Structure 1
Amino acid sequence: MAPRWKWKGAEAKALAEPIANSVSELQLSLAKTESSGSLSSCNVLLAVEPEQAELLDRCCFGRLVLSAEKGKKWIQLSFEEAFYLLYNLKCIKIYLQGRCLEKEVDTWMYMRSKRPKFPIFFKAYSHLRSKNWVLRSGLQFGVDFVVYRHHPSLVHSEYSVLVQSGDSNRLRAWSDVHCAVRLSGSVAKTLLTLHVSGNSNKEDLNLPLCLENYTVEEHTICRWSPELSREDEIMKP
């Protein structure tokens, strides 16, 4: 499926401002000011300067939280977004109840305690993020993530993503596949399944290093169209 740009000139703007360049600029800015976020039960609130809030929006990390406080902006990050900034980009610090979690493993274990499947979902998230795809929550589309080629203000999302693992196959029956494909097709998206597999045991899951033992398999699932598969001419011997 070709990208569907939202307005004339959007493609040129995207080419002029690659996501990879914006992420590098964000990484330098956050690391320089030692930006920090506070953990809660389901997200991380990150306090940043107004310029950094614009960079976070340009890179599609988190969502702005309205606040009356002047001089600071608050960004609500999902666990995947926050840990990506902490572990992959190493540009933020995270606090829990006023205490800085100096070790990445402490943040990892807290997030995993709140969401046991966090390692699987983070591996899928970081797998696509490292390829400079932009991810947003896919809750309203009945999937885990929706994936954009660039900023959502420039282009429509191309894929709806379901994350699966060995003990969590959500497309077990044909009816599940049919429903997921029809729903994705109705909103002009291609269904992408990410199957995360690995040999980590329960002890390994307590360390972010277990991510190195995981592999991700990508599969796109589309409806078969007889008209597109029909031969126009009879093949001659």
Structure 2
Amino acid sequence: MSLIGPSRHQGSQKAGARRAENNRIYAHPLPLAFHAPDSASALSRLFSLFGVSSTRLDNPHCEGIFDPYTRSVWVVSEKDSTILWRRGFFGKGDLSRSEPSWLARQINARKAAGKYMTSEEIREKRRAERRQFKLDRAAAIARAAAEAEAAFAEGREAAPTGPTLPEAPPDDSDEDSDGEEEEPLENVEHLQLTLQEAWFLVWNLDCLTVLDSQTNQPMTLQQIWRAFQDVHSIPPPQSPTDPQALRFDNPFLIHYAAYHYYRALGWVVKGGIKFCVDFLLYKRGPVFHHAEFAVVVIPVYEDPADQESSPFNLPNSETFSWTWLSTVNRVNSQVQKTLILTYVTIPARSRISPELVSSPACLAHYSVRDVVLRRFIPARMRD
């Protein structure tokens, strides 16, 4: 009987159970969720007689606080944070890589060492073990080479050597401490939404209320629209008639046009600064698969005169070099991501009245085009 078969079978069972659990937890692609009623209920049967669906729409009505200094919206409610993350992977924990898991990591740290770990802790542990293994292997090779060289010089045969690893420290997690009760942990982490994510939730889904950080009062749609643009102006515009206040090349508008374009097509859009890009595109979300595409947003002025008078220094608005393009493409090719250049055309002020920027209706005048780049790797692309 083979000893490999059962372990592989058990591993596939665990992986299948984990996938099923993720499919259950992250079943809703957006915060707005549709719930089908019980078909056996009397109300459902009554609606079906008249051909009317009794499907219920669940709107979570989350709350966030606008923070102009970090150009983000903070969701401090743990319940709202969980909903926004699990239904569309919006935002990230300010003390975590992605999912707000700071509290879970702190709780696990108080438990028996190594028995309860989050996915982030497991990943960091494996990386540390791999780094240490490489260091030990390099040291062992250096010792073996030195021994072989010394033996050759002395005319004797070198004895085989191997790395000497330190012993693991004894596990004293079960020993009693001083008997004092530990203080309960307070969750100090919040979910941090980008301005693009927040506006998508406010304007398209109407499931997020944004509060003013000074008054703690709900902001109107017009106030949010203006505030998200004003944070990119230095100094902020003093009045709506300020030339900086009404511009089509505001960074918020350009990046939101690209964000909305991909979100509307069903992609999960996350920040891509780790890979020198603006966005990463996931088919379902970070829990299921790695991002397949990396997006660089490239603003294109319809009227070059607008670029000359612009107070904004937009990244990638000037002609980029082949060295830069090759560098970014190489970075993302090494992590199995396809690079996409997303060109966002900025409407000309001479063609459209600047007053239109005061309304979200101006977004209809932006156009988005994307170009896919792939780095040719002969060793991988033969088939």
Q: TM-score, normalised by structure 1?
A: 0.78
> How do residues 45-194 of structure 1 correspond to structure 2 at under 5 angstroms?
45-48=74-77, 50=79, 52-58=80-86, 59-64=88-93, 74-96=190-212, 97-98=214-215, 99-102=217-220, 104-115=221-232, 116-167=250-301, 168-169=316-317, 172-194=320-342
User: Which amino acid in structure 1 is aligned with residue 329 of structure 2?
Assistant: V
- Counterparts in 2 of 1:2-13, with a 5 A limit? 8-9=15-16
Give deviations 1:172-225, integer Å, cap 9, x for gaps. 222222112111111111001211114253433332211111111121111235
- Matched positions, count: 219
Q: 1:79 to 1:54 in 2, by over 3 A?
A: same
Report the equivalent of 1:218.
370
CA distance in 2, matches of 1:183, 1:223: 10
Are 2:170 and 1:36 equivalent residues in the alignment? no
Which has more radius of gyration? 2
Q: Give the distance between the partners of 2:369 and 2:78, measured in 1 at CA.
A: 38
Please say if residues 181 and 223 of structure 1, whose CA atoms lie closer than 8 Å, have aligned partners that are also in contact.
yes
**Greater relative contact order structure (CA < 8 Å, 6+ sep):** 1
Cα-to-partner distance string for 1:28-82 (whole Å, 9 max, x where unaligned): 3323xxx3221112111124452x4322122211123568768x98422111111
Cα RMSD for the two superposed structures: 3.2
In the alignment, residue 30 of structure 1 is paired with which amino acid? Answer: P
1:193 aligned counterpart, secondary structure: strand
Q: Structure 2: how far apart are the matches of 1:76 and 1:161?
A: 21
Question: Is 2:31–2:59's contact at 8 Å kept on the other side of the alignment?
Answer: no
Cα 1:100–1:165 change in 2 (3 A) is same
CA distance in 1, matches of 2:322, 2:190: 44
Query: Residues 119 and 227 of structure 1: is their aligned pair in 2 closer, same or farther, counting only changes over 3 Å?
Result: same
**Where does the alignment leave 5 or more consecutive residues of structure 1 unmatched?**
1-6, 233-237
Rounded to whole Å, the distance in 2 between the matches of 1:15 and 1:218 is 31
Deviations 1:128-181 (A, max 9, x none): 111221121111111111111112121011011111111443662222221121
8 Å contact from structure 1 (residues 195, 218) kept in 2: yes
Q: 1:55 to 1:189 in 2, by over 3 A?
A: same
Say which SS state the counterpart of residue 277 (structure 2) adopts. Answer: coil
Cα distance in 2 for partners of 1:225, 1:141 equals 19
